[in-house]
Amino acid sequence: MRNSSDGSPDGGPAAAAARFTGSAVTGARHRSATLTEVTVDGGRAVMVKHGDAGAVRAEAAGLRWLADAGAVPVPVVHGHDERWLVTDRVPAGRPGPDAAVRFGRSLAALHAAGAPAFGAPPPGGPEDAWIGLAPMRNTAVDDDWPHWYAEHRVLPYLRRAVDDGTLRAAEASVVEQVCARLPELAGPAEPPARLHGDLWNGNVLWGADGRVWLIDPAAHGGHRETDLAMLELFGCPHLDRILEGYGETHPPAAGRRDRIGVHQLFPLLVHAVLFGRGYAEQALSAARGALAL
């Protein structure tokens, strides 16, 4: 492999952009340690993300799977290899209430597009995927949602948090009690939804075209209320209007608000593993709240 002028193997982000768009590069600007905005002929901009092979493959497959639903716009994937993912850049706009309602309707349609099973990865995506910087295993299982959610989304991160010392072993029993009671806490059974999987505000882009775009998915088959709970966990502009639009299209089952804590256990424990004790305490609070219902 050759080195680029910035010392990166195989040509770096600019070379990846040229290779996958078929256009000459006219400029590049690093946005973070792993993300570069590259301008190609004609003034078009693309985003080039660096990652390991599994993460790149998972994100590319997730974006394509979400796009296939024809519901929420996502950046076009120009191509990827073992190190680089090249997608369109979304020109930024401003959040607005009307766009929020439309986004809610589109998110409901995305979820309704469905998935083959709980835990199913996107077509072509790896089983060993990622949510942010944390590993996440996507294995399609013939299970009901409560059992799958406990075994494949909550307990793996609970065990790691305990092993890392972020949660004390005695505290873990609170979360384990929620897992044991999930069949009664989960609400009516639902089919697997097509989830974005990491739906926090940073992955929701308000475009200059008046649409709301989704980026950086951890896509898999899951329960649609998990996406909604994550959106509520970290906040989002005009969240009330997003939920209004969602409810107009595909209303959640009655009692959704009582189940928010159950669905937030997964992202909170992921964040506890990545970022420490503060999120562990939030996870314990969510678990106690669920048990009090």
**Residue 49 pLDDT > 90:** yes
3-state secondary structure of 283: helix
Per-residue pLDDT, 188: 96
Task: Please identify, among 30, 56, 88, the residue that sits at the C-terminal boundary of a domain.
Answer: 88
**Residue 262 pLDDT > 60:** yes
Residue 46 included in any domain = yes
Per-residue pLDDT, 10: 54
Per-residue pLDDT, 143: 86
What does the radius of gyration of the chain's CA atoms come to, in whole angstroms? 20
Per-residue pLDDT, 6: 40
Residue 4 included in any domain = no
How is residue 253 written in tokens? 């089952």
Range of the domain at 160: 97-291
Report the candidate in 138, 143, 136, 108 with the shortest Cα–Cα distance to residue 123: 138
Residues 21 and 115 in one domain: no
State percent of the chain over pLDDT 90: 94
Q: What is the mean pLDDT of residues 211-232?
A: 98
**Residue 241 pLDDT > 90:** yes
Q: Which of 10, 143, 198, 258 is catalytic?
A: 198
Residues 121 and 260 in one domain: yes
Whether residue 102 contacts residue 95, with contact meaning beta carbons closer than 8 Å, is answered with no
Residues 160 and 70 in one domain: no
In this structure, are strands 77-80 and 84-88 parallel, antiparallel, or unpaired?
A: antiparallel
φ/ψ of 176, rounded to 5, equals -65, -35
**How many domains is the chain built from?**
2
Burial tier of 188 (Cβ tally within 10 Å: 0-12, 13-18, 19+): exposed
Q: What is the mean pLDDT of residues 170-187?
A: 97
Residues 249 and 214 in one domain: yes
- Average pLDDT over the chain reads 94
98 is catalytic: no
Helix (H) or strand (E) holding 35: strand 35-40
Residue 2 included in any domain = no
Residues 155 and 83 in one domain: no
Residues 126 and 253 in one domain: yes
Residues 63 and 190 in one domain: no
pLDDT digits (tens, 9 = 90+) for 102-147: 999 999 999 999 999 999 999 999 999 999 999 999 999 988 999 9
Per-residue pLDDT, 148: 97
Residues 125 and 264 in one domain: yes
Within the chain, residue ranges assigned H as helices are 12-21, 53-68, 97-112, 145-149, 155-163, 169-185, 224-234, 239-249, 256-275, 277-291
How is residue 229 written in tokens? 């709970």
Residue 265 included in any domain = yes
Residues 186 and 236 in one domain: yes
C-alpha dihedral (147, 67, 34, 84), degrees to nearest 10: 110
* Banded model confidence at residue 46, pLDDT cuts 50, 70, 90: very high
Residues 134 and 238 in one domain: yes
DSSP codes of every residue in 126-185: -SEEEETTEEEE---BS--HHHHHIIIIIHHHHHHHHHTTSS-HHHHHHHHHHHHHHHHH
Task: Please identify, among 66, 88, 110, the residue that sits at the C-terminal boundary of a domain.
Answer: 88
CATH code, 165: 3.90.1200.10
